[in-house]
Structure 1
């Protein structure tokens, strides 16, 4: 058995070092391979004795004695270094100790030195906050470590949660009523990167296990951002009795100083602590712009920045520089004209590597596997198949949707889900989901809801999210769902009972391409998610718009009645219903499902007129919301106005291919080489659904039972999950007369009896079939 590798932990009897030692002594992934050398100045301490009992090698060394430090590290693979500024509250003393540790790490030949660092606040604030010494001193040591050229990683712990909850902390009962009060010399909206010091070992474990990925980099140690108000709200939820009267109170500078001085702190320390807490609001604990992005309605801040800084600007989110594109011209110049280098994706460790097993198409880098996925998608989305087989699926499911709405109008969100899910499962797996209780549909939306736990992945770097275990569990659940459905299609192919579908085509293609079942299962799953959830989100936005803008619904219904009368609209009516075509375009503009876009990455350093883009910089095409709400491009952009498209007869595909970006209708499908390939299918789905919904129903506002006033949905109340859509809202959806209601009932009973078997699946595959490979 090979000897264990050694990690030397300084400050092993303290908070950070103790957590690191504990993790490496007890973690099942580590303790078999790693030995812990715990360094302390006093081996007789109770904490040192306990570490020895747990199996650590306890050694004595002094930060002021370089020889003892080298001896403590010699033979180690990894060393974790941390200093305690408040031991003397002397920045110069801490800097010297930190440099002694770094010199010793170099002399001992350490393969990975991990320094517990912080940012230089004097530099970050450009001199406005010059007295946060315990940050600046650690930052100076970091620069010294870098200058030595040793293999190092820098761990930056977040805001200690113990500063909030401990006795005498920031949250405590205060006189005269002893109400629990959270006090800060910063606003309630100040964002705090929460860090439990006991989690230090988990971060260091990740750093050690991913050594090559993080050498030379900073790892930000926080589990989430919470505003001060959110801390109070959480306290109220967790402790309803004590928290019933809890509140946040912002201290003035004078009040803060007086309070701390009354506790015996020196002016020197009071100033340092005041500036430290002001950092949260003024510049952000980790610097950059992350603290300026609100957790809710963050897209509005991007719109403000675009107006202030122009079409291309950069942000620092955590430790990552992100270049943001905010105009159609910049998108064209970079994503289309330079698409050869702007079509990949940035590294996304949790959201892609762990959460998706590296297989989710939307997050894939621009490589052979992605090109295969898009090749398959083009075959699946062939125009002839879209206009025949898929049209039959959409026609059937839209009729079922009308029947469902007639029976249970209050469940309109579920009916929209079932419409988009059922026709997409037929395309992908050859299987209808006949009702919302279908086991597959339940599993699909259970997985989708879990994915919505991770909207923060779009705004925080992976290093801020130690949720790897949860992400792995989610990937396991999703993989089982997609793989199970894909393997079922393969089994039916072997038995000769498979219906034509995308998964069957993938199974045939798998033989020639030599890719895994998992890859093809995720290809099919990606088609399913793209086809069902995005279209559902757009339709939900349309329904909300009809409730907010009833005059639009009336104008649309007048056009439909003039052409279709008492019969159900069909796709053949599209040429005669320009206002309904406008409703489709306006729905895609008004409620884009990825309002901040999916980030691209550039394959090599590039210069544009406004910005230099380095290879490691994600490029966020945060344009869908910014451009779609640009009053220079769209008059009254917050109004849902289909008439703005009166002279635009382009399909979404034709518009997307128009070289004149001023003549593009919208950017809901993206731009460049990663543009959505299902545009014709989506146009078709939306036209059928929207025209038939308007033909069948009136979309009235619900009435508040208390005030008896109409309830107008808030168009900015958006659910920011994997896809963006309105949060649930109330609506009063009623049939447009008894004759329409009877027609819907009779139509569904006749259609289902003719086309569907006892299991509500197709008796015969509709006209047309998927191409064979």
Structure 2
């Protein structure tokens, strides 16, 4: 094993040296240019400014630099130019008003062909696959939201409550599976794939992240010959397995559709019905077309897991750490819902619950760096030339800590959405706050790359969060040996581009014997409709 490692190192050294020489020449050329333009941290030859960046919490250093250099600044890493934005208005100017220039995606080295193939909608460059998939997904999400996802979320939440009651110590994994079940049910009518959906999403997210494979930061290592390249071998096997699973799920759904067995409240039914409407009654498709459709539904599934399971876990943490807001939200739920579990029909009457959810995503950003944009042609802003290929990051962590917009930003304040004295207050409270519109929408990205899942985030976060507070009291665990409260780091995460908190201890206690019976009865009412 040691000899293999040494061989890999020796093979990597020439490309590393060549890359370093290129960057040194580039740095020398730029050092002669005018220093006017955007500010930024001091740059060093070849490496730029990478040596003091922690790839497991890079957003904190970006916030530190924003405090020193201002709401927009320039930096570089191993020759790659970056512009970091910490101001909503500047981000809107570049990424929305000039969205046609800044809608590219940078290359993620540990993935194959994500910019041009049909497998990764959110990571593609703008091309025909991207346009067709985005158009279909947007229409499908909008249509299903009009029906509040046909009660699928409420049914799965009833199961989730019983799972929390029976296995409270496994709430991290079970929350991810809960999100995976909802998406798999909506896509293929097969919620039993929820665990695989959640685990597959996590594996993919690891590959996408700076904190994942080392080749995402030391990119020359990707050029090591295939026979000796463990990163390429791993990714080829992972992606092939994922693509095969997505394709098989689509083909099974197709056969059920042709037999008249596939429910109408699935995205695959909607897709097949659309194919028939175009004059293809038997759904005869070549492999490339089937793969395109399976990736479209599969990646939609994946994103629906990773964008919700982390925020839900942070919400549970927030309620545990802020019992005063937990009680306030529970009082509101009890007043409105009484002995029944909350549903989407209660949305307008539970503004405190919505405020606690909204504040969770501000307090602990799910995408703290923002998803990167890449400049697709030369541009100029504030007297600064921005070259094609520059990566632009709208740093969510920093934006959520602008004190003029979010006073006392480090602390959890749901009242910033409920009281007129706060800058983020909006009326009417029957509508605001929410995840579909209004303040703080930068959580879902910018311009042509805005996430299309706001509607399902709104419904799923609301119903799941409200139902947990309806059924349980959440509190910090105490050590059985010392009796002391078990402390936790509320900022400890898996460091992926879309975060989950690291496992933390939390007590879930049913609020009463009556609530236990109500939760069990609720699950019993829908159990036959679920694949458990």
Q: Tell me whether the two structures share a fold, i.e. TM-score over 0.5.
A: yes
Task: Note the C-alpha offset of 1:484.
Answer: 1.8
Q: Is the 8 A contact 1:552 1:641 kept in 2?
A: no
Which residue does the alignment assign to 1:298?
Answer: 58
1:585 equivalent among 352, 358, 362: 358
SS in 2 for 1:322: strand
Cα 1:203–1:303, aligned 2, differ >3 Å: closer, same or farther? Answer: same
- The unaligned stretches of length 5 or more in structure 1 are 1-160, 163-194, 209-213, 220-281, 656-663, 761-773
Distance in 2 separating the partners of 1:196 and 1:507:
53
Q: Is the 8 A contact 2:142 2:455 kept in 1?
A: no
Which residue does the alignment assign to 1:175?
Answer: none
Which residue does the alignment assign to 2:268?
Answer: 503
Q: Is the 8 A contact 2:176 2:195 kept in 1?
A: no
Which residue does the alignment assign to 1:406?
Answer: 165
Distance in 1 separating the partners of 2:111 and 2:86:
24
Distance in 1 separating the partners of 2:17 and 2:149:
49
Distance in 1 separating the partners of 2:293 and 2:458:
26
Q: Is the 8 A contact 1:580 1:687 kept in 2?
A: yes
Distance in 1 separating the partners of 2:201 and 2:134:
24
Distance in 1 separating the partners of 2:116 and 2:496:
16
1:749 equivalent among 497, 514, 524: 524
Which residue does the alignment assign to 1:489?
Answer: 253
Which residue does the alignment assign to 1:441?
Answer: 195
Which residue does the alignment assign to 2:422?
Answer: none
Which residue does the alignment assign to 1:269?
Answer: none
Distance in 2 separating the partners of 1:471 and 1:457:
16
Distance in 1 separating the partners of 2:91 and 2:111:
25
Q: State how 1:640-679 maps to structure 2 within 5 Å.
A: 640-646=412-418, 647-648=425-426, 649-655=432-438, 664-679=439-454
Which residue does the alignment assign to 2:234?
Answer: 470
Which residue does the alignment assign to 2:140?
Answer: 380
SS in 1 for 2:442: coil
Distance in 2 separating the partners of 1:355 and 1:366:
8
RMSD over aligned Cα atoms: 3.1
Task: Note the C-alpha offset of 1:545.
Answer: 0.8
Deviations 1:469-523 (CA, angstroms, capped at 9, x unpaired): 2222221122122222122223333444333322344456678699632222221
1:733 equivalent among 508, 514, 531: 508
Q: Is the 8 A contact 1:544 1:713 kept in 2?
A: no
1:455 equivalent among 206, 209, 234: 209
Give the strand-richer structure, 1 or 2: 1
Q: Is the 8 A contact 2:110 2:208 kept in 1?
A: no
Q: Is the 8 A contact 2:102 2:373 kept in 1?
A: yes
Task: Note the C-alpha offset of 1:206.
Answer: 11
Distance in 1 separating the partners of 2:86 and 2:508:
37
Q: Is the 8 A contact 2:43 2:76 kept in 1?
A: no
Q: Is the 8 A contact 1:455 1:722 kept in 2?
A: yes
Which residue does the alignment assign to 1:715?
Answer: 490
Distance in 1 separating the partners of 2:150 and 2:274:
25
Deviations 1:610-637 (CA, angstroms, capped at 9, x unpaired): 642111212222x211111222221222
SS in 2 for 1:725: coil
Distance in 2 separating the partners of 1:450 and 1:371:
22
Which residue does the alignment assign to 1:724?
Answer: 499
2:408 matches 1:636: yes
Task: Note the C-alpha offset of 1:444.
Answer: 4.8
Q: Is the 8 A contact 1:312 1:611 kept in 2?
A: no
SS in 2 for 1:652: coil
TM-score, normalised with respect to structure 2: 0.82
Q: Is the 8 A contact 1:297 1:716 kept in 2?
A: no
Distance in 1 separating the partners of 2:253 and 2:347:
35
Q: State how 1:26-105 maps to structure 2 within 5 Å.
A: none
SS in 1 for 2:73: strand
Count of residues in Structure 1 that have an aligned counterpart in Structure 2? 482
2:111 matches 1:351: yes
Cα 1:547–1:315, aligned 2, differ >3 Å: closer, same or farther? Answer: same
Q: Is the 8 A contact 2:200 2:302 kept in 1?
A: no
